[in-house]
A and B are shown apart, each in its own frame.
Chain A
Amino acid sequence: MRAYTPKDDVQKKSYYTDRFWVAPQVPKYDVSQDAVFAADLEAIKAKFDVLDAYIQVNQMVVVIHANDNYAVLELLKNEREYPQLSEMSAIDWLASEGKFEIFYQMLSMAKRKRLRIKCKIDEKEAIQSVEKLFRSADWSEREMYDMFGVVVNNHPFMKRILMPEDWEGFPLRKTYPLQGDEFAAWYEVDRIFGKEAREIIGPENRDPARVDRYDTQRFSRLGHEVPFGTDISQGEPDTPLVYQEQKGVFMIEKFDAEKSVVISDRHR
């Protein structure tokens, strides 16, 4: 029987993990250890459900419900002095729990603090745009949609940003292979010549950077030259390296690889 390979996560896996190996954890600290973060958390807790909150590597992480995302960020921006959304994106947990995790990385210059708001949504669920609060989310949300297919509601221009407009599939999902899928492999051929040209062109010519070692029309190998167009797939004829250019070449007279000697001591 063929070995089962999971299809929901096709990213590279370590080929060997010790049976008794337990992964250590990056320590999480209680929010009460930091007065500034504790005050921020209190303000969030007063109005919203907080599912989890802790401090990890000097930054507070607050887990909230996905439909509170706009209101929480609005509170942080307007009342808690977090004027910048420095980064936001998604993490694909579809294989393990069928959800996307969205994180918002916030920065407060006045307090010199960074915190991360996180929430989870289902695969087909949409999330509210925060573009009205932070213009930077305009492009971040487009990138998130482009890479993961997370639809963002109330976004002014919900289009792909990095991939071409007519791309199929979402490249950063764990189900998407690193080498790309069939659509990606034939993208240029389909767009330029049409789908019916796939058979004419064939997979071997699909990639313009492909090097065919038996091709003697477009490639030559230094030191192993054969006449143009020779079929060398069944072994190659021996080509004697003897030549003499017309009118002769400077310092070279009837070069013959067989008869020439390689000098071992160049200072001789």
Chain B
Amino acid sequence: MQQSNRLRPFFENITFDRADNEMILNFGPQHPSAHGQLRLMLHMQQEQITKAHPDIGYLHRGMEKMAENMIYNEFMPTTDRMDYIASSSNNYGFALAVEKLIGLDVPRRAKVIRMLLLEVNRLMSHLFWLATTALDIGAMTVFLFAFREREYLMDLVEDYCGARLTHAAIRIGGVPLDLPDNFMDDLRKFLDKLPENIKDYEDLLDTNRIWLMRMENVGVISKEMALSWGCSGVMLRASGVAWDIRKEEPYELYDEVEFNVPVSDKGDNYARYKLYMAEMRESAKILYQVIDMYEGTSTELMAHAPQYISAPKLDIMTQNYALMQHFVLVTQGMRPPVGEVYIPTESPKGELGYYINSQGGPYPYRLKLRAPSFWHTGILTDLLPGHYIPDVVSIIGTTNIVFGEVDR
């Protein structure tokens, strides 16, 4: 019996000397293609995997527990740390859930700005996915190209909220700031060039022999498997289920914009790659339409609900009652009504849901974060057996998991 203490490694009762040919390979938690802190225990027969056991929790920070001890507005920056590749979409999911709990309607200009941020975040996330996955496979050029484009978007978001990764750019009830003067022009400049850029990536990858060998018919997820494992987003759509929450259960202004939902029924890595590329084009399409919506909206950015949302700064500085309410909302926090909501949104990774159980206090009684990557990691248990070691890297790549979100 092993003792787990005194600097002696603790192997969880796994015997490494086996009579048969089976070997156990410990992949991660410190592995560059593990995309964070993923540890995989792989049972191998020669080069082939017979059993996979993903081990997570290396980045567990107890965000659900933290949420129970924070007022609602206080939790907003913490949500950034979930999917830190596209943090505005986490902010948005939380803000939307609380707004639905309260029953708030957000001013139109705030909706437009939110849409812009969400789609810019989606582009950022997809570009990051393309860069890292291509790098894992060995395509260094694509990595550099995609990071260059992502950098423009990060600058754009930095212009808006001052942060590059952890944006905290959305508030419950609206957005904190109006767009800076040059934002639309810069965005348009970027979007005009984006089709060219995407074509560059596709020229490098689409018919690349190595890329095809590593992607085609590797990591095939059947429709039943995807549904059963709770897959969402691209993972689900690559397996033949046309389900995009933006389209089916529209929030914000997604019912006013026109876009297509790319679907594939192949279910392999290559299908997922093609969907990411197609989704970037759709995001650009949405962004063009949203840019036009901005003109002519009234200047309000936050919803008017004095019980829950602080008044605009001008009111706070000039009106006594607004100042009093602001003071109470900051020191004690808002108290949403008693009830529970589960609000899903389509984050770049899939269905990001917030379950909030409020008992009428300033702290949520229970907050469950439904992060898509959690199940996209779980599916590796069933997906990896039968594959070979190099496939592990490309499969982890196309599942697009982020460990801030898996471990929360």
A residues apposed to B, CB below 8 Å: 11-17, 21, 23-26, 28, 56-57, 59, 61, 83-87, 89, 91-92, 103, 105, 109, 112, 114, 116, 134-136, 138-139, 147, 160-166, 171-172, 176, 178, 190-194
What CA separation (Å) do A83 and B69 show in the bound complex? 35
Given contacts A14-B333, A28-B339, A178-B66, 15 further A-B contacts (CB under 8 A): A12-B70, A13-B361, A23-B335, A59-B341, A84-B227, A84-B230, A86-B230, A87-B355, A89-B355, A105-B355, A135-B225, A135-B228, A136-B378, A171-B62, A193-B5
What CA separation (Å) do A75 and B292 show in the bound complex? 47
Check A138/B351 contact, CB under 8 A, given A12-B69, A112-B249: no
Top 10 A-B pairs, shortest CB-CB distance:
A26-B339, A23-B360, A136-B230, A162-B57, A24-B337, A139-B378, A12-B69, A87-B370, A135-B228, A162-B60
Contacts of A11 in B (CB 8 A): 68-69, 363
Contacts of A84 in B (CB 8 A): 227-228, 230
Contacts of B374 in A (CB 8 A): 139
What CA separation (Å) do A61 and B106 show in the bound complex? 26
What CA separation (Å) do A87 and B359 show in the bound complex? 21
* B181 at interface, CB cutoff 8 A: no
Contacts of B378 in A (CB 8 A): 135-136, 138-139
Check A178/B362 contact, CB under 8 A, given A57-B339, A162-B407: no
Contacts of B355 in A (CB 8 A): 87, 89, 103, 105
Interface string of B356-383 (1 = CB under 8 A from A): 0111111101101010001100110110
> Are A178 and B69 in touch, CB under 8 angstroms?
yes
Contacts of A85 in B (CB 8 A): 230
Contacts of B359 in A (CB 8 A): 23
> Are B4 and A166 in touch, CB under 8 angstroms?
yes
> Are B338 and A89 in touch, CB under 8 angstroms?
no
* B241 at interface, CB cutoff 8 A: yes
**Whole-angstrom distance between the Cβ of A134 and the nearest chain B Cβ:** 6
> Are A26 and B101 in touch, CB under 8 angstroms?
yes
> Are B382 and A57 in touch, CB under 8 angstroms?
no
**Whole-angstrom distance between the Cβ of A13 and the nearest chain B Cβ:** 8
What CA separation (Å) do A25 and B336 show in the bound complex? 9
> Are A26 and B361 in touch, CB under 8 angstroms?
no
Contacts of A161 in B (CB 8 A): 56-57
**Whole-angstrom distance between the Cβ of B203 and the nearest chain A Cβ:** 35
Contacts of A23 in B (CB 8 A): 335, 337-338, 359-361
* B211 at interface, CB cutoff 8 A: no
**Whole-angstrom distance between the Cβ of B72 and the nearest chain A Cβ:** 12
- Please pick, from B6, B56, B365, the residue contacting A91 in the complex, using a CB distance under 8 A: B365
Total interface residues in chain B, CB < 8 Å = 60
* B149 at interface, CB cutoff 8 A: no
Please report the number of residue pairs spanning A and B whose Cβ atoms sit closer than 8 angstroms.
139
- Please pick, from B12, B65, B407, the residue contacting A172 in the complex, using a CB distance under 8 A: B65
Contacts of B360 in A (CB 8 A): 23-24
> Are B64 and A138 in touch, CB under 8 angstroms?
no
> Are A163 and B57 in touch, CB under 8 angstroms?
yes
* B141 at interface, CB cutoff 8 A: no
* B73 at interface, CB cutoff 8 A: no
* B314 at interface, CB cutoff 8 A: no
**Whole-angstrom distance between the Cβ of A46 and the nearest chain B Cβ:** 25
Check A56/B339 contact, CB under 8 A, given A16-B332, A86-B344: yes
> Are A57 and B57 in touch, CB under 8 angstroms?
no
A-B contact pairs, 10 of them (CB 8 A): A11-B69, A23-B359, A26-B338, A26-B340, A59-B342, A134-B230, A161-B56, A162-B57, A166-B4, A192-B5
- Please pick, from A25, A87, A162, the residue contacting B353 in the complex, using a CB distance under 8 A: A87
What CA separation (Å) do A162 and B64 show in the bound complex? 13
* B214 at interface, CB cutoff 8 A: no
- Please pick, from B4, B232, B341, B353, the residue contacting A57 in the complex, using a CB distance under 8 A: B341
* B17 at interface, CB cutoff 8 A: no
> Are A162 and B249 in touch, CB under 8 angstroms?
no
- Please pick, from B65, B228, B335, the residue contacting A134 in the complex, using a CB distance under 8 A: B228
* B7 at interface, CB cutoff 8 A: yes
* B100 at interface, CB cutoff 8 A: yes
What CA separation (Å) do A164 and B29 show in the bound complex? 14
Contacts of B65 in A (CB 8 A): 171-172, 176, 178
What CA separation (Å) do A89 and B371 show in the bound complex? 13
What CA separation (Å) do A23 and B227 show in the bound complex? 39
Contacts of A135 in B (CB 8 A): 225, 228-230, 378-379, 382
Closest to B228 in A: A135
Interface residues of B in 118-158 (CB under 8 A from A): none
> Are B66 and A24 in touch, CB under 8 angstroms?
no
